[in-house]
A and B are shown apart, each in its own frame.
Chain A
Amino acid sequence: MLQVKNLTVEVGGKTILWDINLDIKKGEPAVLFGPNGSGKSTLIKTIMGFAGYNIKSGEVIFKDQRIDNLPIEKRVKLGIGIMHQHPPKIRGVRLSQMAHFLSKEQNKISDTAERLSLKELLHRDVNFGFSGGEMKRSELFQILLQNPDFLLLDEPESGVDLENISIMGKAIDEFLRQKDKSALIITHTGYILDYVKAKAGCMMIKGKFWCVGSPKEMFKNIREVGYENCRECHERKEP
């Protein structure tokens, strides 16, 4: 569904991603691990097409079509959706308006808002005075309305309390269980893995993929010994 081929990306004149290769299939969400500053968000933002992420070489292919030259909204129309980690505040633009950009079905909008306990936030300016959890739920709300085939999740659980993680985890899992969906998920805490059945995990360090494996095992390893093991393991493979 989504393929990334030999992708090298520069930000502000500095190379952040080196020769990344990725192939994510329908129904097989992948998880991206890695320490802070390793380039995980850069990869997601490059796939989405945000400005400032300059592709020096390589390709991004979605549903058999090259998308790396398309404007953001065209990628969205093809079926890519993103849950932002730090969404901006937009004065005078209500969450309900955002909802209407994404869905014309009023029932779906109110049901989804109800389910995510967001009803009171609908008339508010998007992200203004939202708590961490509310911001995440608002992102999820928008994604569920958008109903993309491929979901980019940038640390969906960061800054969220346990109760919200459970609400979100269940909703994301349910979403991804639908036919023909897939995702690339960045996670730091790994909580999301308790809910989402990811097929593959990739470890990104210093802008490169170091290894691929079972997400649960990789995360267990990280939790026990941090990223140090990855480094050693990597050095064993590529001395």
Chain B
Amino acid sequence: MNEKSLNAKVAAQDQDTVSSSGMDLSEKTRSASFLQQDYSINFFRSLSDAVDICDTDEAMRRYPEVKDYFGRNFRLLNRQFPEDTRGGYFVRIKKGKTVELPIQACLLLKARGFQQKVHNIIIVEEGAKAYLITGCSASETAKEGFHMGISEFFLQKGAYLNFTMIHSWREDITVKPMSIADVGEGATFISNYVCLRPVREIVMYPAAVLSGDSSRASFNSLILSYPGGLEDIGSRVILRGSQTQAEILSRAVSLGGKVVARGHLKAENRDVKGHLECRGLILSEKGTIHAIPEMESDFRDVDLSHEAAIGKINKDEIEYLCSRGLSANEAQSVIVRGFMDAEVLGLPALLKKEIDSLEEKTFKGSF
């Protein structure tokens, strides 16, 4: 599917919303791109020899071995998964390759009331390193839409993947992603989630299984919750191999919506280490934040910890900024913006800058 460009495949009226989910329509700063609108696979193209990219159905035809991966992570945890999916993206980063520019995958809801169910498969082969950014967004026409994205990540020995998912939905969209990563020996999986736009309901509890010894996972989420919305978002890491490490960090700001911030660290081996941190700011009387951190261990020799803090903005911080000439409203914006600092996502400069500018747009002015 080498015709035209990604830019030509996204309708003019959808370009803003797609860009707001972190997509570079020019492809200039990306090494590979994928676009699925509802159930039509509109575009995929790899600009790097190190990256295979296509839709999952096509991948199963092209590469027979992909069938073995389909559903494997769910079997790993004895979990069921919906099989009525169509499409989704397949990304494979080849052994030993480092892909500097991010790979991007875009899932767009377009038709009114459309129910999009996709199954993504991401394989990072031994020693490979890449950044993957997935942007999910809804066109203005996609009223009452539904999106369910299954993602299975396979990180082989020594692999590194920084996966950043940006959601840019609308007030009447319901979203239920399901994601499991299997992280092999010495591999590192970083999973970032950014949701700065309104949504009706998001329920997700992605998991990483640190199967290989000395593997690491880190989940970071930045969530802005609007009145009427529900974000029930967790992250789970199962520390199965020895000397594995996990970190879960969540920052939620409620402008009136309900946020449930879950986190679960499960130690299944000795000598593992995990930390869970949840911070919430409630800016409106109507807002709710419910932090549910869980830690579980079958062994003594583990180091699991958590900290959670929820509340309103500290008055001293507002006044400090006011004493430097900012109005109380400006001060609040600056504090919230700082609270949602993209620095925590461990992104390369380019992506960090892109997320910063998305945040800049969101926090422009005051609430």
Q: Are the C-beta atoms of A76 and B334 separated by less than 8 Å?
A: no
Name which residue of chain A comes closest to B279, CB basis: A91
Q: Are the C-beta atoms of A73 and B325 separated by less than 8 Å?
A: yes
A125: chain B residues at CB < 8 Å are 338
Q: Which of B309-358 contact A (CB under 8 A)?
A: 314-317, 319-328, 334-335, 337-341, 343
CA distance A142 to B326 in the complex (A): 13
Closest CB in chain B relative to A113 CB, distance in Å: 16
Known A72-B319, A84-B320; judge A91-B341 contact (CB<8 A). yes
Q: Are the C-beta atoms of A50 and B319 separated by less than 8 Å?
A: yes
Q: Are the C-beta atoms of B337 and A73 separated by less than 8 Å?
A: no
CA distance A142 to B324 in the complex (A): 8
Q: Are the C-beta atoms of A76 and B325 separated by less than 8 Å?
A: yes
- Count A-B contacts at CB 8 Å: 61
A48: chain B residues at CB < 8 Å are 323
Name which residue of chain B comes closest to A74, CB basis: B327
Q: Are the C-beta atoms of A90 and B324 separated by less than 8 Å?
A: no
B327: chain A residues at CB < 8 Å are 71, 73
Closest CB in chain B relative to A99 CB, distance in Å: 10
Known A71-B327, A76-B325; judge A88-B320 contact (CB<8 A). yes
Closest CB in chain B relative to A102 CB, distance in Å: 6
Name which residue of chain A comes closest to B337, CB basis: A92
Which of B315, B334, B338, B340 has a CB less than 8 Å from the CB of A51? Answer: B315
Closest CB in chain B relative to A78 CB, distance in Å: 11
Q: Which of A138-173 contact B (CB under 8 A)?
A: 142, 146
Name which residue of chain B comes closest to A142, CB basis: B324
Name which residue of chain A comes closest to B330, CB basis: A73
Q: Are the C-beta atoms of B335 and A93 separated by less than 8 Å?
A: yes
Q: Which of A47-88 contact B (CB under 8 A)?
A: 48, 50-51, 71-73, 76-77, 81-82, 84, 87-88
Which of B316, B324, B340 has a CB less than 8 Å from the CB of A92? Answer: B340
CA distance A82 to B325 in the complex (A): 11
Does A193 sit within 8 A of B, measured CB to CB? no
CA distance A102 to B324 in the complex (A): 7
Closest CB in chain B relative to A152 CB, distance in Å: 9
Name which residue of chain A comes closest to B336, CB basis: A92
A20: chain B residues at CB < 8 Å are none
Closest CB in chain A relative to B310 CB, distance in Å: 14
Main secondary structure of the interface of A (DSSP, over half): mixed
B320: chain A residues at CB < 8 Å are 84, 87-88, 90
Q: Are the C-beta atoms of A102 and B341 separated by less than 8 Å?
A: no
CA distance A90 to B315 in the complex (A): 11
CA distance A158 to B316 in the complex (A): 20
Q: Are the C-beta atoms of B338 and A71 separated by less than 8 Å?
A: no
Does A1 sit within 8 A of B, measured CB to CB? no
Closest CB in chain A relative to B201 CB, distance in Å: 28
A98: chain B residues at CB < 8 Å are 324
Question: Per-position contact with B for A114-157: 1 when CB-CB < 8 Å, else 0?
Answer: 00000000000100000000000000001000100000000000
B328: chain A residues at CB < 8 Å are 71, 73
A102: chain B residues at CB < 8 Å are 324-325
Name which residue of chain A comes closest to B338, CB basis: A92
A91: chain B residues at CB < 8 Å are 338-339, 341
Closest CB in chain A relative to B338 CB, distance in Å: 3
Q: Are the C-beta atoms of A146 and B325 separated by less than 8 Å?
A: yes
CA distance A189 to B111 in the complex (A): 72
List of 3 A-B pairs having minimum Cβ-Cβ separation, nearest first: A92-B338, A92-B341, A72-B322
16 A-B residue pairings within 8 Å (CB atoms): A51-B315, A51-B319, A71-B322, A71-B327, A71-B328, A72-B322, A73-B325, A73-B327, A87-B320, A88-B317, A90-B335, A91-B341, A98-B324, A101-B321, A101-B324, A146-B324
| A interface with B by C-beta (< 8 Å) | 48, 50-51, 71-73, 76-77, 81-82, 84, 87-88, 90-93, 97-98, 101-102, 125, 142, 146
Q: A77-B325, A82-B323, A92-B337 are in contact. List 5 more A-B contacts (CB 8 A).
A: A51-B315, A72-B322, A76-B323, A90-B320, A101-B324
